Structure 1
Amino acid sequence: MMKLRLLLILCLAVISAGVSAQSVREVDICVYGGSSAGVIAAYTAKKLNKTVLLIEPGKRLGGLTSGGLGYTDIGNKYAITGISRDFYRRIGTHYGKFEQWIFEPGVAERTFQEYIREAGVEVLYQHRLAGAQKTGGRITEIQLESSTGGAAKHSVIRAKMFIDCTYEGDLMAKAGVSYTVGREANAQYNETYNGVQLRNKHQFPDGVDPYKVPGKPESGLLWGISAEPMAEQGAGDKKVQAYNFRICLSNQPDNMIPITQPEGYDPARYELLLRVVEKTRPGNLNGILKFDLMPNHKTDINNNGAFSTDMIGMNYNYPEADYATREKITKEHELYNKGLLYFIGHDPRMPQHLRDAMLKWGYPKDEYQDFGNWSPQMYVREARRMVGAYVMTQANCEGKEVVKDGVGMAAYTMDSHNCQRIVQNGMVKNEGDVQIGGFGPYPISYRSIIPKAEDCENLLVPVCLSATHIAYGSIRMEPVFMVLAQSSATAAVAAIDHKTSVQKVDIAKLQRELTARPLASNRTAEILVDNDDATHVVKKGDWKQEKRGAYGPSFFQAEKGGQQGSVRFTPDVLRAGTYKVYTYVPKVPGLSSSTQITVFDGKKEQKVPYTAASVRVEGQTSGEWVELGSYAFGKGNKAYVEISNAGADGAIVADAVLFIPVEK
């Protein structure tokens, strides 16, 4: 009996030592992936008084937003709400503006760190997922390993709720949640722009020969061209749209590192570029690279044209690959992009004016200093996509199907980069590029960020959400990921508080919470009155309703010489106080040199005209907020802002008015 007791004590000691060696960490909410979405999800959960751990496999927070994509893809600012919008306001503060959508990588990274410090979020860097354990339909724990090969600080994380904020959907996959990779056939969801698409954007001009020796198929295909025959238009496949890097360069001499020949450089990889240049004869670098300028003499360079920074067809294995394979694919993309920049600037066959232009740029000394001045974040445009409780499709983008459980909005063009480079009729062609827009903001279903109940009950997926390839192309924008991350964290908190699953969260209550507490705090919420809000807007006179370039679905426009009229915006002020007032001015031709605006604070009127010269629209935004001053408003709906077309010498626009509380 004594031996049995000693054996039992010894076993318990071994088990205890094993658990200790595993270094178990327990929190309310575990966020995996330090992307822009990951930071906002963790910040939100902590602000809502939950214990949180944010796990980042690398060393840098912010994902692509801090990794080079500074020329923000928006679609419509109306879709960007809550803490996501606050992020771009904080960026604006850095640059001395109200909002800023064009920014340097380092500024974005420091802003994300600001959120982490403010909320006191614990971040575990350089740890990655090794496994996940699920019991009774719930993830009970995940296992981690060091990303660097050393010992893991915490090897087991237990949480009540998990949020997968990776671009790859790794936690989702480890948890056994249904997902897909590639393009659905159009027939699967009754779509038009999914599957194989041979179209005209970012396309080779006719006549570009695909063979090493022009006109001789027996010589073999040039690098990057597939011999695979193209499937029929609209057919599904497992091909993934191309990845690249959003490249930050500098042309400031004291902040430049010369672009040198990268390891493994092979000029034969860029032979196709020479053939394209010979056909198109670009006058500057914009004919090859999408050269968007950032503050302080920097760039956000993206793919442009038939042959550019997209490494087409070289990423098919990435979404489901192991870590070593992904690292290899990422390195190949880095070297391809660095080689392209070097080739443009140094290959004697390139036109002299393009070489000279390229040599004015170099890697920025003050960016990515821990990563050899090159972004550690490859642009993983699309990897796994969850097949969740609801699948967003083209019908949602186009407004043909409108969900009632929206917890965020999207507004960008249905956008896919090319998926393959092939031979068609003896000529080289790209296949897969789609750019179809013309629709307004639309809601994203809560059910699209949660798994099916039978798959998992305590996981939310705001990045690799449930959408078809072409719908995902519209949703997959960094600001939208941040919006959905806040919604995910808020839902996770609600599920914990009500001891329920993510599928049983009260959606109406969640929507009210996101509206009432847009910053996950008790600060007074700002008030937006949009022209499409018939309850709070009164229109007099002859105003046309325009859609393109609006904040939200539409804006009103009065032409010079039309019937005199006005548009009055009346806010419901729930808390008396001082508010800073802005009006949104869409970018329209022939804008009147001056617009007459009246602000009534409930006691007296003030005339506040603005001039067309004060409206400076930058980047991919459709308009700009113009400040009208600060005013003390009482509680209720007596105050208003009225836009008049009296005395106009051009077009007058009335779109939206914003009332932002001034915190004491």
Structure 2
Amino acid sequence: MSTPAVRSIEEPARKIPVSAEYDVLVVGGGPSGLTAALAAAEDGLRVGLIESRSFVGGNMTIGLPVLGFLGQKGNQIIDGLPQKFIDRLRNERDGASEHRPCPLHMGITLVEPEAVKTVALEMLTDAGVDVLFYTFFAGAIVESDTIRGIITESKSGRSAILAKVVIDCTGDADVAYQAGVPTEKGDGNGGMQPPTLMFCLGGVDTDKLRMSIANTPREARTYLTDFIPAEYFGQNHQFIVVGLRELMAKAKQERGLDIPNERTIIITGLKKGEVWINMTRVKGTDGTDARSLTNGEIEGRRQIDDIVTYLINYVPGFETAYFTKTAPFLGIRETRRIVGQYVLTQEDVLSCTHFDDAVAVASYPIDIHRPGDDGCTLIWCGDCYDIPYRSLVPNKVGNLLVAGRSISATHEAMGAIRVMATCMAMGEAAGRAAKISVRGNRAPAEIDVQELRRQQLERGVYLRNPDGTRASAPDHKVVV
């Protein structure tokens, strides 16, 4: 059977007004975009940031905790601007917890979504970053394999924004892809980790929940939490529950509930009695396709009722719980990844590889919500691994950097570096690299990476020596 021809129209050529020009333009205001813009603007460059939504913060605003600040040995391995953001969030808005050790996730940092939106925007405006909301990236302006800016669409119409360096922090490599950078998507079969539509419940007795786990005799337990010992819940009032597999199986059998997930995932909020639920699972969703995303929202919302029924009727502490809100958008775990100067691999992660051009350190395990079933794969390396600058530099297109989960990495390595604290660390590195590029009139691929590393260390970024110890800042100041 022949494929039907795709109908099309021809759009007349038109002149696009240039609405702004910057030294550095950041596309996307999520965790990596926030720190990229702050780093690029730290000594007076003209920096712009565009965001399609009405707020910044990205996945920090959908009820998820920030993962990745702590390493597998319990030490803090992400510092610098990400830590300054958490400090301000906690000190000024009571909007963040301390970094709490977690046997499964190494460390969790709880954040209040609405406080994230306010504090992130305050930090950007205080730094002089020109923020533009309600503005969609629509195309790349490329001349002689060098990006010169982007095309945007908004209520104001179609316009162009020019920049000396563009940083793609879309999470989906949108800018890189449109500019002609080679990209990959998913695993060897093109399967991508399924997204989740987070939602929030109030009226939960979280102490009853945690103590029901902590106090159950080992020989009498009918459910266990994945990798998290029961004793942990007796010591922590705010926590993550991952597991309760037998309770969920019982609920599905007795009530015929349709919950496409093997595990219960409950995240306590900062407010008393509030929990966020990470259990909807929308397999087959492509986060780069509007129709697929729409279907994912529809399916995610459909799943919520059965999940709430399960929680209220089977999980201790949820007896008087009530639904309050859903996240403002689907939490996307995986879409495109660029092919850059270096492709970070699973072996790099699991062997704790040190790179001479490392600009960030990470420790989160390889965590893959498998595309083909309802399960998850977790693999730990035992310590930390480096993220090389070359993985932020795309092939084929100049004056462009990429930060966040769409850097140059394999499907498996991306499963490790995709968490928010790591993305913030990559954003800080990209922003500072863009600044060096502009100040030195050099392409990002041609900057002195050791100079970048020196500046990172001077700003409090955690980097490693070859023997694994924390690297110290140089005695002298760098002039750019």
Instruction: State the TM-score, normalizing by the size of structure 2.
Output: 0.75
Equivalent residue in structure 2 for 1:496, among 412, 434, 438: 438
Provide the secondary structure at the position in 2 that maps to 1:49: coil
2:304 maps to which of 338, 348, 351: 338
The equivalent of 1:176 in structure 2 is: 180
Q: Please give the alpha-carbon distance, in whole angstroms, between the structure 2 residues aligned to 1:294 and 1:356.
A: 14
Q: For 1:278 and 1:469, locate their aligned partners in 2 and report how far apart those are by CA, in whole Å.
A: 33
Give the counterpart letter for 1:332 in structure 2.
Answer: I
Report deviation, 1:103.
2.2
The partner residue of 1:378 within 330, 337, 360 is: 330
Note if 1:72 corresponds to 2:67. Answer: yes
Cα separation, partners in 2 of 1:99 and 1:498, compared to 1, 3 Å: same
User: Which position in structure 1 is the counterpart of 2:280?
Assistant: 309
Change (3 A) 1:466 1:22: same
Specify whether residues 553 and 310 from structure 1 end up closer, same or farther in structure 2 by C-alpha distance, changes over 3 A only. Answer: farther
**Equivalent residues of 2:204, 2:318 under 8 A apart:** no
Q: Does residue 448 of structure 1 match 2:391? A: yes
When Rg is computed on C-alpha atoms for both structures, the one with the higher figure is: 1
Shift of 1:91: 2.9
Equivalents in 1 of 2:429, 2:50: separation in Å? Answer: 19
* 1:233-255 deviation per Cα after TM superposition (whole angstroms, max 9, x unaligned): xxx210111110333332289xx
Which residue is equivalent to 2:89? 91
Change beyond 3 A, Cα 1:118–1:319: same
Question: Following superposition of structure 1 onto structure 2, how do residues 423-502 of structure 1 map, counting pairs within 5 Å?
Answer: 430=374, 433-452=376-395, 455-463=396-404, 464-502=406-444
Give the aligned partner of residue 392 of structure 1.
344
Instruction: Name the SS of the counterpart of 2:25 in structure 1.
Output: strand
Judging changes above 3 Å, is the alpha-carbon distance between structure 1 residues 375 and 458 closer, same or farther for their aligned structure 2 residues? same
Map Cα deviations across residues 118-177 of structure 1 (whole Å, 9 max, x no partner): 11221111111221121112112211112xxx333x611111100011121111111111
Counterpart in 2 of 1:145? 153
Deviation at 1:335, TM superposition (A): 1.2
Selected match of 1:297 from 251, 263, 272: 272
Change (3 A) 1:533 1:384: closer
SS for the counterpart of 1:47 is coil
For residues 23 and 320 of structure 1, the distance between their equivalents in structure 2, rounded to whole angstroms, comes to: 27
Q: What is the SS of the residue equivalent to 1:112?
A: helix
Find the residue that maps to 1:376 and give its secondary structure: coil
Q: Which moved more, 1:66-75 or 1:441-450?
A: 66-75
Counterpart position of 1:42? 37
Q: Tell me the amino acid that sits aligned with residue 357 of structure 1.
A: F
Number of the residue aligned with 1:238? 190
2:437 is paired with a residue of what secondary structure?
Answer: helix
Counterpart residue number, 1:525 = none
Can you give the 5+ residue segments of structure 1 that lack an aligned partner in the other structure?
Answer: 1-14, 184-235, 254-271, 347-351, 364-372, 422-429, 520-527, 535-551, 555-570, 576-664
TM-score, scaled to structure 1? 0.56
How many Å separate the matches in 1 of 2:146 and 2:378?
39
Distance 2:95 2:62 in 1: 22
Q: Is the 8 A contact 1:289 1:301 kept in 2?
A: no
State whether structure 2 residue 371 is matched by structure 1 residue 419.
yes
Partner of 1:277: 250
Deviations 1:353-391 (A, max 9, x none): 45992651321xxxxxxxxx4322321111101111000
Secondary structure of the 1:244 match is coil
Q: Does structure 2 conserve the Cα–Cα contact (< 8 Å) formed by 1:89 and 1:98?
A: no
Query: 1:273, 1:334 → 2: CA distance?
Result: 23
Query: 1:289 and 1:74, CA in 2 relative to 1: closer, same or farther beyond 3 A?
Result: farther
Q: Deviations over 1:260-295 (max 9, x none)?
A: xxxxxxxxxxxx99982258999xx99953112121
Q: Higher relative contact order by CA 8 Å / sep ≥ 6: 1 or 2?
A: 2
Answer yes or no: is the 8 Å Cα contact 2:360–2:463 preserved in 1: no
- Residue of structure 2 in register with 1:508 after alignment: 450
Tell me the alpha carbon deviations over residues 181-228 of structure 1, each in whole angstroms, 9 at most, x when there is no partner: 011xxxxxxxxxxxxxxxxxxxxxxxxxxxxxxxxxxxxxxxxxxxxx
Contact 2:457 2:463 survives alignment (8 Å): no
Q: Could you say if the C-alpha distance between residues 443 and 73 of structure 1 is closer, same or farther in structure 2, counting changes exceeding 3 Å?
A: closer
User: What code does the residue aligned with 2:192 have?
Assistant: V
Are the structure 2 counterparts of residues 157 and 300 from structure 1 closer, same or farther at C-alpha, using a change threshold of 3 Å?
farther
Q: 1:358 to 1:290 in 2, by over 3 A?
A: farther
CA contact (8 A) 2:68 2:363 kept: no
Q: Is the 8 A contact 1:24 1:156 kept in 2?
A: yes
CA distance in 2, matches of 1:409, 1:242: 26
CA 1:473–1:361: 2 relative to 1, 3 Å: same
- Counterpart of 2:441 in 1: which secondary structure? coil
Deviation of 1:413 (Å):
0.8
Q: Percent identity?
A: 26
CA 1:384 to 1:287, structure 2 compared with 1: closer, same or farther past 3 Å? closer
Q: What SS does the corresponding residue of 2:120 show, helix, strand or coil?
A: helix
Alignment partner of 1:159 out of 154, 159, 163: 163
CA contact (8 A) 1:91 1:99 kept: no
SS in 2 for 1:382: coil
Q: Structure 1 residues 124, 517: closer, same or farther in 2, change over 3 A? A: same
Contact 1:40–1:482 at 8 Å: present in 2 too?
A: yes
Q: Structure 1 residues 132 and 63 mapped into 2: Cα distance closer, same or farther (>3 Å)? A: same
| Gap change, CA 1:474 and 1:288, over 3 Å in 2 | closer
Cα separation, 1, equivalents of 2:141 and 2:475? 47
Q: What value does the CA root-mean-square deviation take over the aligned residues?
A: 3.6
How do 1:147-226 and structure 2 match up within 5 A?
A: 150-152=155-157, 155-183=159-187
Seen in structure 2, the aligned counterparts of structure 1 residues 22 and 273 have a Cα distance that, compared at 3 Å, is: farther
Cα 1:273–1:529 shift into 2, 3 Å: closer
Q: 1:73/1:333 Cα in 2 relative to 1: closer, same or farther (>3 Å)?
A: farther
Matched residues in 2 for 1:360 and 1:75: separation?
32
Q: Which letter does structure 2 place at the counterpart of 1:470?
A: E
Q: Is the CA contact 2:267–2:275 (under 8 Å) kept in the aligned structure 1?
A: yes
The amino acid of 1:151's aligned partner reads S
Deviation at 1:572, TM superposition (A): 9.8
Q: Is the 8 A contact 1:71 1:292 kept in 2?
A: no
Q: Which amino acid aligns with 2:414?
A: Y
SS in 2 for 1:26: strand
Question: Using the alignment, how far apart are the partners of 1:249 and 1:275 within structure 2?
Answer: 18
Q: Cα 1:33–1:273, aligned 2, differ >3 Å: closer, same or farther?
A: farther
Would you say the 8 A contact 1:291–1:299 is kept in 2? no
